Amino acid sequence: MGVLWVSCCGLRWVGLDRAHCCRRTRGCGHVFDDVNLYDAHRRGGDCLNPRTLDLVQTRNGIWLRALDNPGRVPEQRGQRKAD
């Protein structure tokens, strides 16, 4: 089985288990490692900056949990919107 690439909002990523906040639906365009991280970044219909959730970004642009907090659902530190 080959690698499955997904593309949207000018980004490309691997894997169907990622969660993308699409700009076409007034989202921020970020890609998250899983749906829990996606849900954590959406508050009241707005997108939070992933850094306020202590997420880190891979070279490919995927936002994920820091290695010292695997499996943790992040909590919001501020009210800033996504970049």
Q: Which two tokens stand for residue 62?
A: 């995927």
Whether pTM exceeds 0.75? no
Name the one residue in this structure whose structure tokens are 């499955």. Answer: 4
Phi and psi (nearest 5°) for 49?
-65, 125
The per-residue pLDDT for 43 is 87
23-52 pLDDT per residue, tens: 888 889 899 999 999 999 998 889 999 999
DSSP 13-60: EE-TT-EE--GGGT----EESSHHHHHHHEETTEEBPGGGGTEEE-TT
46-73 pLDDT per residue, tens: 999 999 999 999 988 899 998 755 555 6
The pLDDT > 70 percentage for the chain reads 80
**Residue that wins the pLDDT comparison between 80 and 16:** 16
